Amino acid sequence: MGELLCFLIFVVAGCIAAYKRMNLSNTVWLLAAVMVLGTLFGEVGFLAWLLFLAAAIPLSMENIRKTYLTRPLLKFYKKVSPEMSSTEQEAIDAGTVWWDGELFSGKPDWNKLHTIPKGRLTAEEQAFLDGPVDQVCAMVDEWQINHQDADLSPEIWQFLKDNKFFAMIIKKKYGGLEFSAYAQSRVLQKLAGCSAVLSSTVGVPNSLGPGELLQHYGTAEQQDYYLPRLAKGDEVPCFALTGPEAGSDAGAIPDVGIVCKGQWEGKEVLGMRLTFNKRYITLAPIATVVGLAFKLEDPDGLLGGKEQLGITCALIPRDTKGMEIGRRHLPLNTPFQNGPIRGEDVFVPLDFIIGGPQMAGKGWRMLMECLSVGRCITLPSTGAGGAKTVALATGAYARIRRQFRIPVGKMEGVEEMLARIGGNAYLMDAVTRFSTVGVDLGEKPSVISAISKYHLTEKMRQVINDAMDVHGGKGIMLGPNNYLGRGYQGAPISITVEGANILTRNMMIFGQGAMRCHPYVLSEIQAAAIEDKNAQLDAFDKAVFGHIGFAIANKVRSFWFSLTGGIFHSTPFNDETRRYYQLLQGYSANLAFLTDISMGMLGGELKRKERLSARLGDILSGLYLASATLKRYDEDGRLQEDAPLMHWAMQNTLFDIEEALDNFLSNFPNKAMGFALKALTMPFGRRCKRPDDSLEHKIATLLQTPGTARSRLGDGQYLTREEGNLFGDLEQTLDNVIAADPIFERICEKKKAKLSFTQLDKLADEALENGWIDEEEATLLRETEAGRLRTINVDDFDHEELVAKIQSK
């Protein structure tokens, strides 16, 4: 019995050391101390010491460990590690690790999360939002843009140029606005709530495009020439990457440039002969300067180096001989300027390469670094902005629209959709706020940008689908008074661009996350690539035994979490959010542990098991979305009015994390190991549930009732109550309906009848004549009826109005 107790103490001591992540030396000394105590009490004998020393000595003595343990491990590692392409390596090298690294650690530092500063606008940025952004929103006529002109009006185009909407990222010394990423996000959110064509037109030049590439990599001459012209709107940029043969696999572009000599402006110069076929290029039809990605080859050795130089980026003026540009695509009836660009044997000087000839072959790294920033801002922000505006509009509509003599928003089926819309809008804004602050802190968060792009575009699709269901016929009948239909049509566009969502989820989030965010995986890869054998062994020894300790620690942490549910984990707040922090801490340990098990057992095969890696990516994503939600709740003052939105976002996200965890374990290739892992991580089954009906009822009520929480949800959106702003009209009608309700009920009591909430203008006349209401109340009822009819009515047309006209010159 004493020997068993001593053994248990030994195991517990080892687990404590692992849980606390003590280093190898301290762990060995701790276990040796337990052995000494056991010996003093007569419970540890010679055999036990022999076994202990057989393990401790090789681990503790560096030369023995490297010779008999590390060297065979290194040989095995080289054999089973997956081959990494050059484009994959450049993508991993391009970004930085930020909060995503904490989430992969198995023990996120929540205090560190809450010390990250809150995003704030400067006075100049706020003035831009309140001035030019509101002004251009007021100029928008969605029906004119989408159905009649298939373009923004000339007045809007000029206004955008005059007010430097395309220069938010350009530094002030070149004439740009030099706004923060946070400010850019706020601008795009407001524009997206007003017009998808407008937000796309503004978003792309401020994301992955010539302006961003020139500022980071351009020569001084290129910067001095192009950036002031871009800032003033004298040049309109586009960037051409994808083509018929290379969409999501952009690194496989077949477009080629051959280094050669040729004539340029009457002189023989060293240049490139380009052949390319690009499509899906936003702003291409009207662009004056094209950023072009291609593979550069030097078959004659004119540059004195290798023949295959790799992906290169160059700036090509629109009027360059041989350039075919101007035709348009029509992306799902959302007519932002987008089209193909082609060219065959287009000769340009070598100086057209962004950054000059020395940047030849470095284009992929340039693109990945810029994309890791731009993808954090543009699509997540347009998704969040659209969701916020749609949330308020759908809440207002559900309160105004009545069926069966009650507002449709009081029906439980509609409440379910309103809750999803509101909860997702709250989370989406939280993510954009947090992610853009990271960019402003100097991060290039490639993994976080992939998470943000994928999940916020998917959530926007769910939001718009739910909103369409609530609106019914109002949503599907296009016309000047439809504020949802075009957004519904265009939702798949954001799903597809900047890396299709299928690719992003199945290959990028976890594929890059495991490499970049795991504290040891990248170190092992880099160590194995060192040419000097001694240095290679030293580096791999440090990385691999650090990795082993990390894996053991997370196994212990996962098991402790499975037994206790994390109730002993410390949290930064001892309130209603406490449980959420504890669960996220446990799932972080689960993620780190399962990642190590998967890479250890499957090796390079994990790269091809896309659905498995996607589920691990879902866990990582959920941890990030939940972190952003908790941070937003704290930044907003931990207000009880906002608590239902926070609770919904957290509970829904935690449920999704467990769903991904459960599905990962159920589909693990080795069924016995999958069963064992499930017993270790989920011995009592699932802990988390979807948000319940009572919580969703609170959110549905919040969306239908004007108040400070509802206003915070729609903060920053274009809701001015002026003629032509459908969303502002909805807000005014909502206020009127709520104010008119008690007057209507009083009239019903006077008439001793339960009347239908219709024809309020006629009812007002009757009630005023009978002295039941005064003139002010009658005016309110008439205004309410007019607004109610504007809200529920749909457009109709003569046949000729809908037939495309062929205009003769």
Do residues 507 and 610 make contact, with C-beta atoms less than 8 angstroms apart? yes
Higher pLDDT pick, 534 / 282: 282
Name the average pLDDT for the chain: 90
Q: What is the mean pLDDT of residues 429-439?
A: 97
Catalytic, 43? Answer no
Report the C-alpha gap between 375 and 370 in whole angstroms: 8
Q: Band of the pLDDT at 805, cuts 50, 70, 90?
A: low
Q: Residue 1: its pLDDT value, please? A: 55
Pick from 367, 359, 355, 357: which is nearest to 259 by CA? Answer: 357
DSSP 692: P
Angle between helices 210-217 and 363-400 in degrees, nearest 10: 140
Report the C-alpha gap between 672 and 678 in whole angstroms: 10
Q: Does 809 score more than 50 pLDDT?
A: no
Q: Band of the pLDDT at 487, cuts 50, 70, 90?
A: very high
Give Cβ neighbours of residue 274 (< 8 Å, ≥ 6 apart). 255, 256, 257, 292, 294, 314, 316, 343, 345, 346, 347, 348
Q: Residue 807: its pLDDT value, please? A: 46
Residues 124-135 pLDDT 10s: 999 999 999 999
- Where does 72-231 show beta strands of DSSP type E? none
Pick from 207, 195, 312, 332: which is nearest to 253 by CA? Answer: 312
The distance between the two most distant Cα atoms of the chain, rounded to a whole number of Å, is: 107
Q: Residue 80: its pLDDT value, please? A: 66
- Residue owning tokens 């001084």: 220
Q: Does 385 score more than 50 pLDDT?
A: yes
* Percentage of the chain lying above the pLDDT 90 cut: 66
Please report which helix (H) or strand (E) contains residue 406, including its range. Answer: strand 406-407
Query: For residue 360, is it left (φ>0), alpha (ψ between -120 and 50) or beta?
Result: beta
Report the C-alpha gap between 218 and 236 in whole angstroms: 17
Instruction: Return the C-alpha torsion angle 757, 761, 763, 767, nearest 10.
Output: 130
- Residue owning tokens 């209507």: 744
Q: Residue 551: its pLDDT value, please? A: 82
What SS3 state is found at 320?
coil
Report the C-alpha gap between 361 and 313 in whole angstroms: 8
Q: Does 84 score more than 60 pLDDT?
A: no
Q: What is the mean pLDDT of residues 692-705?
A: 98
Q: What is the mean pLDDT of residues 492-497?
A: 91
Residues 620-645 pLDDT 10s: 999 999 999 999 999 999 999 999 99
What SS3 state is found at 257?
strand
Report the C-alpha gap between 634 and 512 in whole angstroms: 30
Task: Single out the catalytic residue among 369, 498, 524, 731.
Answer: 498
Report the C-alpha gap between 612 and 510 in whole angstroms: 10
Amino acid letter, residue 146: N
Q: Band of the pLDDT at 46, cuts 50, 70, 90?
A: confident
Q: Does 601 score more than 70 pLDDT?
A: yes
Report the C-alpha gap between 613 and 520 in whole angstroms: 18
Q: Does 806 score more than 60 pLDDT?
A: no
Least confident residue range of 55-69, 477-491, 568-582: 55-69
Q: Residue 92: its pLDDT value, please? A: 61
Do residues 554 and 589 make contact, with C-beta atoms less than 8 angstroms apart? yes
Q: Residue 520: its pLDDT value, please? A: 80
Q: What is the mean pLDDT of residues 527-537?
A: 85
Q: What is the mean pLDDT of residues 694-705?
A: 98
Higher pLDDT pick, 89 / 126: 126
